A and B are shown apart, each in its own frame.
Chain A
């Protein structure tokens, strides 16, 4: 009963995540650094070397459609959450 409700809950959430694709704009302030050049005429130098080397930047897989990228990214988030807390539970069993 509890597990079924949670599985349904997570499936609904995965199905809702692509709604986020409707928005073309980033959150206020979270612009790419080039946009600061346009806005204020320079790129603050502390921002320049702050590039991120994430394995899956912006939840986008190269060569996959935005819809699939988003669905797979959401699923990865679910999987990592379960792996993490399962690992915490395992640490108890060793003690």
Chain B
């Protein structure tokens, strides 16, 4: 799910950066509020960022010669609130891009927007929608599942519009497969498999950590 540099056009990357920078700034302010108001928040935010970093490294193979991974957006959104979750996921993506070459540096805006912003807000609002209406575990699963599938839609669209927007002489300049391929391949695999993996991760992590989360979810 990490778009590498060169797979989307520089203009696409810059548009996504322009969208993400003000969102990062607001997420940063929210994270800093947490840290300023609560001495234990540093440990908690660091741990959740580390969790997102690590869970994205756990590639799960599926039939057809491809793989995918959870992101942690469900657990982070529910435990930290969507803004701080988005910020923490973006920081994990930043380290992955800059140190480990996983996901592009110019593409960081696109990846953060999809997995961080859409993922965390998707998870959060689905969680709120069914809160107290469904058993908590089912609600946690739906939250993770929904955030993940929504994030995959953004990635599939960003990749799939490339050959439609940027081609010369019938040849793609960037990612060559259009929406008719990217939507079923990326969104389809997230609906069938990776959304469920995120859902299960959300249940496991929120249950494991719910004993200590109480004050941190302030904003």
Contact = CB atoms under 8 A, between A and B. Distances in A.
Interface of A: 1-3, 5-6, 9-10, 13-14, 16-17, 19-20, 22-30, 33, 36, 40, 42, 44-50, 52-59, 70, 73-74, 76-78, 80-82, 84-86, 88-89, 92
Contacts of A57: 100-101
A80 B61 contact: no
B184 to A, nearest CB: 10
Interface residues on chain B, size class: 35 or more
Given A10-B47, A70-B57, A82-B46, 13 more contacts: A2-B44, A5-B209, A9-B47, A20-B69, A25-B67, A29-B7, A30-B7, A50-B4, A56-B101, A76-B99, A77-B92, A81-B47, A84-B49
A6 B185 contact: no
B104 A52 contact: yes
Contacts of A26: 66-67
A56 B54 contact: no
B43 A13 contact: no
Contact of B42 (A13, A48, A89): A89
B36 interface: yes
19 contacts: A2-B40, A13-B50, A16-B54, A17-B57, A25-B61, A29-B182, A33-B6, A36-B176, A46-B9, A47-B7, A47-B174, A54-B97, A54-B101, A58-B100, A74-B54, A78-B54, A80-B95, A80-B99, A86-B46
Contacts, number: 180
B185 A28 contact: yes
A2 B6 CA distance: 43
Contacts of B69: 20, 27
A13 B48 CA distance: 11
Among A27, A33, A59, A85, max chain B CB count under 10 A is at A85
Interface of B: 1-7, 9, 31-32, 35-36, 40, 42-47, 49-51, 53-55, 57-61, 65-69, 91-92, 95-102, 104-105, 159, 166, 171-177, 182, 185-186, 189, 205, 208-209, 211-212
A44 B49 contact: no
